[in-house]
Homo-oligomer: A and B are copies of this chain.
Amino acid sequence: MIDYAAPVEDYRFLLRQVLNFDSAMADLGKDVDTDLAGAVLEEAGKLCSKTLGPINRNGDEQGSRLVDGEVRTPSGFADAYREFVDGGWAALSADSQWGGQGLPFILQLWLDEMMSATNLSFGLFPGLTRGAAEAIAAHASEELKATYLPSMVSGEWTGAMALTESGAGTDLALLKTRAVPNGDGAYAVSGQKIFISSGDHDLCGNIIHLVLARLPNAPDGIKGISLFLVPKFLPDDAGGFTVRNTMSVGALEQKMGIHAQPTCVMNYDEATGWLVGEPHRGLAAMFTMMNAERLMVGIQGLGIAGAAYQQATGYARERLQGRSADGARGPVAIIEHADVRRMLLNIRAFVEAGRALAGWTALQLDRAHSHPDAQARAEANALVALLTPVVKAAFTDFGFESAVQAQQVFGGHGYIREWGMEQYVRDARIAQIYEGTNGVQAIDLVGRKLAMAGGAVAESFFNLVEADLAQAAQIEAASVVSRRTSKALELLREATVGLRGGSIDAQGAVAVDYLRLFALVSLGWMWARMAAAPGDTPFHAAKKQVADYFAMRVLPQVDGLASSIAAGEETVMAISADTF
């Protein structure tokens, strides 16, 4: 396999010419500019290429194993994690109050892209820690924060989210794990959780589980769920963490991919934990974690797509098969063949616009956290809420489709393990499922996010896109993609109006198609902004060429999506459940 080339040139271009990073940071009073950000991303890229990439294949082959009840990660993972922590990468975007570097979230998200590109299983360890730390920072008592956050932020300890049970996945109302007060402020947590990523491992000294459970006499349903902090090692009297909590790994899930990542069945047997946030309000705390994780999961699709693109492009340059189109030369590199280019361009048309859209969304998150003006913070927060299901679902769908297409470029060699392409496909698949399946994301978008502020949030986003497209359409290089995306935006607006006030079934039956339409418009918007960026380098020329490809060969699918959405739920609900 080719070494991963971190897309630092692309990041710098986006920061400087597309996302106006320097002025955005100035607005937030942050002392970070494109030069510093570029330097950080370059170092991050080296870590990913040199440390995380080389252990990815063995991580898949060897997998995490359960030995005497404890998880052993594959060779090299513990050393790589040490290097990751020592370099300060775990603390990159965390609040300085807890020892974080306080760098903008956009750097974090792009670091996530590069980690996902080189080692998805590895990236989940710090990724889940960050989500857990955010929930603790937002909802836990000062004492819990002071006790747990510094070590989680530094990466000395990791976090895990223990939500799912065998009978309660998407529907957390059904969960059965119980928490009983011990009388000393702590609780005894008992139950079994499944699909717990990073539930146990040998990378560091402690693992902080956030566990959803019910208090005695809690109301039924989701209004009776509370969140508990349950560490693998409890505090001892000497200020250390040496007391083993009564929780254990029941089994490791045998999975399609991400073999290096220990996905645990966890048993909590009167394990000691502390309430995070209010009783019965665990879901709110959980959503703090989930929202952060959902953006990261979207980026996993992007990362794998970018890595698969690099491998497929490298292979297509080297592999000689067939003759040139004029029949004069042969064998030629398969990158000369139109159908191979089509596959590569499909991937690239997603990856580069996805990277831009992820960056834009991350900057909104930075605004939401740090803008001095409350109104600006609220607006940015609403935009992030709107875009989160789109990024999570569309990026992981496109990411999986990209991995499959990159594998296809290799022909038979793509199907055998040796070339690593099939691992991308197996690993990418999980991102469409976890942190809320992509169907759940689509229903979140259509059922909840479109309804925010009576529809005003979506409307303001569409207005923003429309204004940008109108501006970009004035620039010749961006005119094709701008005009065509404007037409697609009209379809999206119509579909949005059509869905307003629809029944649960009417929304559910078309939500996935609607989300894809929304995502294609958003990618077209980013292609317009990128193509409009001034410059006459080959780099700029390529942006314009791929923007045209996107407009002419990818975007047309919006017509079919709009028709399918307009057809609504009738044919979906007509058939009786027995007849399936």
Contacts and interface: CB of A to CB of B under 8 A. Distances in A.
A396 B330 CA distance: 30
A415 interface: yes
A412 B572 contact: no
Contact of A338 (B330, B569, B579): B569
Contact of A546 (B321, B325, B430, B575): B575
A171 B329 CA distance: 13
* Oligomeric state, in copies: 2
A56 to B, nearest CB: 16
B418 A316 contact: no
Contacts of A313: 580
A442 B343 CA distance: 13
Given A321-B174, A564-B552, A505 B338 contact: yes
Interface residues of A, number: 103
| Chain A binding surface, main DSSP class | helix
A221 B320 CA distance: 14
A455 B559 CA distance: 29
Interface string A274-290: 00000000000000000
A228 to B, nearest CB: 22
B331 A412 contact: no
Contact of A559 (B320, B348, B408, B563): B563
Nearest to A544: B574
A422 interface: yes
A51 B575 CA distance: 33
Nearest to A541: B579
13 contacts: A169-B412, A169-B413, A195-B412, A254-B417, A256-B425, A333-B577, A338-B569, A339-B442, A345-B571, A538-B579, A545-B575, A556-B561, A560-B560
Interface of A: 164, 167-171, 173-174, 194-195, 253-257, 313, 316-317, 320-322, 325-327, 330-331, 333, 335-345, 348, 400, 404, 407-408, 411-418, 422, 425-426, 429-430, 432-434, 437-439, 442-443, 503-509, 511-512, 538, 541-542, 545-546, 548-549, 551-554, 556-561, 563-564, 567, 569-575, 577, 579-580
Given A338-B506, A415-B430, 9 more contacts: A169-B411, A254-B416, A255-B422, A256-B422, A339-B509, A345-B572, A345-B575, A554-B564, A560-B561
